[in-house]
Amino acid sequence: MAHTAHRLARAVITPTTIVLAVIVAIAVYFIVQRYLYGLGAVTNINPGYPWGTWVVVDIVIGTALGCGGFAMALLVYVFNRGEYHPLVRPALLGALFGYTLGGFAVLFDLGRYWQAYNLVLPWYTNLNSVMVEIALCVMAYILVLWIEFSPTVLERFGWSGLRRFVERWMFVVLALGVLLPTMHQSSLGSALLVMGTKLSPLWFTVWLPLLYVTSALAMGYAIVIFEATVVSESFDLPSEHSLLSKMSTVVGGLAAAWLVFRYGELIWRGDFGYALVGDLKAVMFWIENLLMAFAAIVLLVPAGRASKRASFLAAVALLLSGSLYRLDSYLVGYDPVGNWHYFPSVPELMVTIGVIALEILLFLIFIKAFPVLANARPAARNA
Amino acid sequence: MAATRDQAGSSRRIDFEEVLSRDLDEPVKAGIGLSRRELMKFCAGVAATMGLSTAAGVRMAEAAEAKERPPVIWLHGQECTGCSESLLRSYHPTLESLILDVISLDYHDTLCVGAGHQALDYKHAMMEKHKGKYVLVTEGGCPTKDGGIHCKVGGKTQIELIKEAAEGAAAIISIGSCASWGGIQSADPNPTGAKGTQEIIPDKTVVKIPGCPPNPYNFLSTVIYVLTFGKVPELDQEGRPKFAYGRLIHENCERRPHFDAGRFALEFGDYGHRQGFCLYKLGCKGPETYANCPAIGFGDVGEGQWPVGIGHPCFGCVEKETAFTKPIHSLATVKTYAPPAAFPDVDMALGTGMSPGAAAVVGGAVGVAVGAGAVLLSKMGKKDGSEGGEQA
Amino acid sequence: MTLDRRQFLKGAAFSGAAGAATVATGGEAAAVMRPPLDMPEKAIGMLYDSALCIGCKACVDACKSANGMPAEIPSTLAAWNENTWDTGESLSGKTLNVIKVFRSGTAKQKDAEDNGYAFVKRHCLHCVDPSCISVCPVTAMQKDPETGVVTHDPDRCIGCRYCVYGCPFGVPQFDVSDPYGRIQKCQFCNHLLKEGKIPACCDVCPTGASLFGPVVELQGEIDRRLAAEPGTNFVFPRGEIGSDRPPHEQAVPRYKKAVYGLTEAGGTQVRYLAGVPFTSLGLPAVGDISYARLAEGVQHTVYKWMLAPIIGLVGLVFLVRRNAADKSGSEDQA
């Protein structure tokens, strides 16, 4: 089981990182605008759609895409599948930035950010609010992720004393690292329960928390497959496909279970008719589910699992499906009071794209700066 | 005369060349006391009041200038003579020149020089002489209780007088609210059983010019219209000329923007009242009263001079259902045809949809992602073949 | 585009009054829902009678003055309305109260569904069981225990806008044009109530279309109006029910025999009467329960005494400790 992780010995500044940095700079420009002139100057959010892409993409979808750390920790430490351990560090790194930047996005989306600390003042806390649970839990989980990742940093700088101390207590942090995402990823679904009739019955169900947490978990595994494939292909590293394809059964199983439960519940509740009316909502519903079904089938069929291409496509489909599910339940499937319309403005999109670019940029820098990748050969190979 | 000229009057063509070649500063022949220019201006004004063309104004001037003036018999019933008083204060032209020169006011209960039998004999003589040609104007209500004994002239009740005069009239005009439906004396409990002229002679067409007092120009315009075209102007279902009573005061009121913006005078003399805000809450009946007051004003002293214009709520003097029956402070029923255009619709589309720029950004991002994915996949494809060996 | 279809679907799914929750969420929803809240005994409220409303916007104007709100001129109207005339199109960060109009066909007959028009006044309905209070993470939204008025405290608010998103009536609004914006909503002129006055909109309403008073008395007035024969003379109170303000007499309008707010979203303290269906007036079909009950019920079932998370954590710690030992050891050797 023993394995080692290495730094990727490549140049940090490449055309890709420069392009990403430019995109981030554009986003920073618009974020400054937002602080100077208000949310309305940059975004298209309006009285009907108070939450735009900054919330739904950066936070709701962003953290779900950051569930790789959660999924791998569950698999490796709870279900004791040590063979997947090489995948943990990159997954953690992805999660680290998915969550940290999600939390960061909250700060520029909050209308009264200078009072954001009120969230942690116990005498203000409203225990009925799902938002409290999400906020506190996400904050805690970001901290947990940094601690989980810290041995990698400490290893890099050779602070073995501190590292040993951290690792002694790591089991508590790892346990929290499984518990907290279960809590807040399900709560992101519970957050919609208050919507009632404002949300289409295609999405609105009392089982939203369960659907959210299972799809987050599936997305966590899918992002690991996606990430590992992209990294190994981009940097011509040895493939981890054999490991990934073993894990694919888990992902496929989750995806299939999610679909079965979703359809079963929808039909049992008697609202399946909404999927057949042919409006935008129904179309989006089918796109979500067909993507998920594609992922489930490919990953459950041995031939599909074996093919690198097919399993990569399946992972992408699953990620798209999970993201669309969140986008649809928060924006497309939602009927505002009044005939309101929303589509993100260009600056708003640029900020969202900038956050994603920053995630990729930081990921690229970190795998070169810290020993993250197990398949990155020691520097000697490239020297 | 109006009757005889019925056909000729309306079909006669105007020789505009001839009209234009006239000396405009020469006093008109009939000795109205006006130059032709002034008469033309007056008639053009009358035509404009009625919404008629300038040609109609020329034709009216022609008619007014014609030698034979239409005889008018003017009866008074239960009233204050305010209608005549109002008419006496019209300025363009002054009424005396109109009634003496444009029309021939052969008999008027209160303006006639003679008295007693002399006056009445003259009236009968005129009625006989112009039978079927004269215009009958009634002013004031007509009591009907107790056989109509509450108003008598020369021993005859008003009922008899109206019926007698209406017999040979070419056209009948009832001026003022009293003559139109009974007016103030018909208000509850109506001790004299006061009624309007139309109710006394239900089988005749009576043109009503209600108002308390009515705007003199609505009366003058009606008379000149009858004189010119030989027929009465178009009437509404109440028998009022549409040119004057066709529109809701509320629709043309200069204070209407205040109503639409919710700015109201709450009591006399308060801030809103001094600022000229809407008088609805003080009981203004403009929203249920059909009259042209805001358009033509009142009293010939300039723009905006009419009750609402000077800060008093309209009390709906031309509306049978309103004047003297609804308390002045009570709220009007708003009879607007349609809600104001600037009000937001309940289902109006709001918010910003997809802009071309945003679509391009989304499309670009998706394109980059798909492109990168495709490159990656093709790379994988190349290696998929060799991979078997590697793995083995 | 899909307004009709949407209405149809909503009608189909949610019109079954009490069954709404069961239909939308399955029977299990009823099991986890927390019990409904009761209206405070001395709850105050408002009756808005669309059939009495003449659309004069006095209430909109008074609301702006009483609450110190700026005029709102949408960019689409700015060309002809150069900062002279408040023309808000919807509730927003600048408008707490707005009169909207329903028009159909020629729009000539007031309170008629076909070729008619009707006005509607939109502002906070002061729910008995408000979603905004349930969702607010920092208790910035509060309901007065005595009067039931839902107020907002901007000093607590963090601007997350969950209340905007979660309100079934689309009431709370965040002023996005201000970098230091805040949530704005009708607070029933709470500052005037404290001085013994009544909300500005009811105070100025010329016809009594907006009527202030205790909810119980207002409901009595509603019942009287619905019971009265249309066309007969009726004395409509103005301003505050039971006050000595002069009433207003007019014929009883043809009401739709329904009250909006009696059961909507678990009941509201502001209620509506109208001569056209409420859906035509843009009042959403929200079902008869407050979905705050469901959200809170689910959360409190899952997190009761934090038992589940604590047990979960203990179990996880045990498992992870057992499983992680060999792995961290191996890493150490690296």
The answer to which of A299-313, B186-200, B291-305 has the lowest mean pLDDT is B291-305
Measured between beta carbons, the chain C residues lying within 8 angstroms of A280 are 2
B373: left (phi over 0), alpha (psi -120 to 50) or beta: alpha
Q: Which of B197, B181, B140 is nearest to B323 (CA)?
A: B181
Shortest Cα distance from B381 to chain A (angstroms)? 7
Q: Give residue C69's pLDDT.
A: 93
Measured between beta carbons, the chain A residues lying within 8 angstroms of B380 are 229, 233, 308-309, 312
Measured between beta carbons, the chain C residues lying within 8 angstroms of A86 are none
CB contact under 8 A, B346 and C88: no
What digits encode the pLDDT tens for the residues C192-239?
999 999 999 999 898 899 999 999 999 999 999 999 999 898 999 989
What sign for the dihedral angle of Cα C12, C17, C21, C22?
A: negative
- The amino acid that residue A189 corresponds to is G
What digits encode the pLDDT tens for the residues A187-202?
999 999 999 999 999 9
Residue B344 forms contact with C (CB below 8 Å): yes
Is B335 within the bounds of a domain?
yes
Is B168 within the bounds of a domain?
yes
**Which domain CATH number covers B174?**
3.40.50.700
Q: CA angle C93-C98-C102, nearest 5°?
A: 130
Residues B76 and B178 in one domain: yes
Give A 197-216 residues with CB within 8 A of chain C: 197-198, 201, 204-207, 209
CB contact under 8 A, C14 and A4: no
Kindly state the percentage of chain B with pLDDT values over 90.
Answer: 39
Q: Give residue B43's pLDDT.
A: 74
Residue A370's Cβ-side half-sphere holds a number of Cα atoms within 13 Å equal to: 20
Residues B89 and B231 in one domain: yes
CB contact under 8 A, A80 and C319: yes
Residues near C237 by beta carbon (within 8 Å), at least 6 away in sequence? C208, C211, C221, C243, C245, C247, C248
Q: Give residue A344's pLDDT.
A: 95
Q: Which helix (H) or strand (E) holds C5?
A: helix C3-14
Give the residue with greater pLDDT, A233 vs A22. Answer: A22
The answer to which of B28-37, B92-101, B296-305 has the lowest mean pLDDT is B28-37
Residue C206 forms contact with B (CB below 8 Å): yes
Residue B259 forms contact with C (CB below 8 Å): yes
Q: Give residue B17's pLDDT.
A: 67
Judge contact between B188 and B222, C-beta under 8 A: no
CB contact under 8 A, B346 and C100: yes
Q: Give residue B104's pLDDT.
A: 82
Q: Give residue B380's pLDDT.
A: 79
CB contact under 8 A, C176 and A1: no
Q: By CA distance, what is B283's nearest residue in C? A: C206
Exposure pattern of C266-304 as b/e (b: 16+ CB <10 Å)?
bbbbbbbbbbbebbbbbbbbbbbbbbbbbbbbbbeebee
* Neighboring chains of A (3 or more beta-carbon pairs < 8 A): B, C
Residue C142, classed as helix, strand or coil, is: strand
Q: Give residue B66's pLDDT.
A: 62
Q: Give residue B70's pLDDT.
A: 79
Judge contact between C21 and C294, C-beta under 8 A: yes
| Confidence category of residue B71, pLDDT binned at 50, 70, 90 | confident
CB contact under 8 A, A193 and C295: yes
Give B 118-137 residues with CB within 8 A of chain A: none
Residues B214 and B286 in one domain: no
Structure tokens at A69: 């750390």
- The amino acid that residue C223 corresponds to is D
* Neighboring chains of B (3 or more beta-carbon pairs < 8 A): A, C
CA distance C236 to C250: 8
CB contact under 8 A, C106 and B333: no
What digits encode the pLDDT tens for the residues B181-191?
999 999 989 99
Q: Which helix (H) or strand (E) holds C10?
A: helix C3-14
Q: Give residue C216's pLDDT.
A: 95
Q: What is the DSSP letter of A330?
A: I
Cross-chain CB nearest to A190 (options C93, C298, C326): C298
pLDDT value at B77 more than 50: yes
Residue B270 forms contact with C (CB below 8 Å): no
Q: Give residue B61's pLDDT.
A: 73
Residues B251 and B224 in one domain: no
Q: SS3 string of C219-270? A: HHHHHHHHHCCCCCEEEECCCECCCCCCCEEEECCCCCCCCECCCHHHCECE
What digits encode the pLDDT tens for the residues A329-375?
999 999 999 899 999 999 999 999 999 999 999 999 999 998 888 87
Structure tokens at A97: 């930035």
Q: How far apart are the first and last CA of chain A?
A: 28
pLDDT value at B392 more than 50: no
CB contact under 8 A, A44 and B377: no
Cross-chain CB nearest to B344 (options C89, C106, C207): C89
pLDDT value at A58 more than 80: yes
Q: By CA distance, what is B347's nearest residue in A? A: A339
Give the number of domains in chain B: 2
Which DSSP string corresponds to A282-315? HHHHHHHHHHHHHHHHHHHSHHHHH-HHHHHHHH
- The amino acid that residue A368 corresponds to is K
Judge contact between C165 and C75, C-beta under 8 A: no
Q: Give residue C319's pLDDT.
A: 87
Residue A91, classed as helix, strand or coil, is: helix
**Residue numbers of chain C with a pLDDT score lower than 50:** 1-25, 328-334
Domain boundary, last residue among B293, B323, B339: B339
Residues B282 and B327 in one domain: yes
Q: By CA distance, what is B365's nearest residue in A? A: A353
Judge contact between A191 and A90, C-beta under 8 A: no
Question: Which residue do the tokens 């307004």 mark?
Answer: C3
Q: CA angle B363-B365-B370, nearest 5°?
A: 90
Over residues B287-292, the mean pLDDT reads 93
Residue C151 forms contact with B (CB below 8 Å): no
Q: By CA distance, what is B279's nearest residue in C? A: C206
Q: SS3 string of A22-74? A: HHHHHHHHHHHHHHHHCHHHHCCCCCCCCCCHHHHHHHHHHHHHCCHHHHHHH
CB contact under 8 A, C206 and B333: no
Judge contact between C224 and C237, C-beta under 8 A: no
Q: Which of A280, A339, A367 is nearest to A96 (CA)?
A: A367
Over residues B326-331, the mean pLDDT reads 85
- Cα of B62 vs its chain's centroid, Å: 25
* CB-count exposure of residue C232 (10 Å: 0-12, 13-18, 19+): exposed
CB contact under 8 A, C101 and B281: no
Q: What is the CATH number of domain C32-290?
A: 3.30.70.20
| Confidence category of residue B174, pLDDT binned at 50, 70, 90 | very high
**Domains, chain A:** 15-381 (1.20.1630.10)
Residues B180 and B326 in one domain: no
Residues B254 and B110 in one domain: no
Over residues B215-235, the mean pLDDT reads 86
Q: Which of B345, B348, B355, B361 to mutate to test the interface with A (most CBs of A within 10 A)?
A: B361
Residues B152 and B263 in one domain: no
Beta bridge partners of residue C211, listed in sequence order: C47
Shortest Cα distance from A312 to chain C (angstroms)? 28
Judge contact between C109 and C253, C-beta under 8 A: no
- Most confident listed range (A75-89, B262-276, C221-235): C221-235
Structure tokens at A355: 């956050």
Q: Give residue B208's pLDDT.
A: 95
Question: Which residue do the tokens 């249309």 mark?
Answer: C230
Question: Which residue do the tokens 């006394």 mark?
Answer: B200
CB contact under 8 A, B355 and A338: no
Q: Which of C316, C317, C321 to mutate to test the interface with A (most CBs of A within 10 A)?
A: C316
Residue B338's Cβ-side half-sphere holds a number of Cα atoms within 13 Å equal to: 13
Extents of the domains making up chain C: 32-290, 304-333
CB contact under 8 A, C107 and B338: yes
What are the angstrom distances between the C-alpha of A292 and each of A181, A268, B60? 22, 20, 86
Residue C128 forms contact with B (CB below 8 Å): no
| Confidence category of residue A383, pLDDT binned at 50, 70, 90 | very low
Domain boundary, last residue among B318, B339, B360: B339
Residue B334 forms contact with A (CB below 8 Å): no
Beta bridge partners of residue C184, listed in sequence order: C173
- Look up the domain containing B184 and give its range: 69-244
Residues B257 and B335 in one domain: yes
Confidence (pTM): 0.82
Q: Which of C213, C126, C66, C281 is nearest to B262 (CA)?
A: C66
CA distance C4 to A165: 64
Q: What is the DSSP letter of B232?
A: P
How many CB pairs below 8 A link A and C?
Answer: 254
Q: Give residue C23's pLDDT.
A: 43
Residues B74 and B222 in one domain: yes
Is B361 within the bounds of a domain?
no
The mean of the pLDDT values for chain B is: 82
Domain boundary, last residue among B324, B339, B354: B339
Q: Give residue B357's pLDDT.
A: 92
Over residues B216-240, the mean pLDDT reads 86
What sign for the dihedral angle of Cα B312, B318, B319, B320?
A: positive
Residue B373 forms contact with A (CB below 8 Å): yes
Q: Give residue A1's pLDDT.
A: 37
Residues B222 and B313 in one domain: no
Which DSSP string corresponds to A122-164? GGG--TT-HHHHHHHHHHHHHHHHHHHHHHHHHHHHT-HHHHH
Measured between beta carbons, the chain A residues lying within 8 angstroms of C5 are 277, 279
Residue C277 forms contact with B (CB below 8 Å): no
Shortest Cα distance from B347 to chain C (angstroms)? 7
Residue A49 forms contact with B (CB below 8 Å): yes
Over residues B171-200, the mean pLDDT reads 93
Residues B216 and B328 in one domain: no
Q: Give residue B98's pLDDT.
A: 73
pLDDT value at B280 more than 60: yes
CB contact under 8 A, A309 and B350: no
Q: Give residue C5's pLDDT.
A: 45
CB contact under 8 A, C56 and B264: yes
Over residues B348-368, the mean pLDDT reads 91
Is B224 within the bounds of a domain?
yes
Q: CA angle B331-B334-B336, nearest 5°?
A: 165
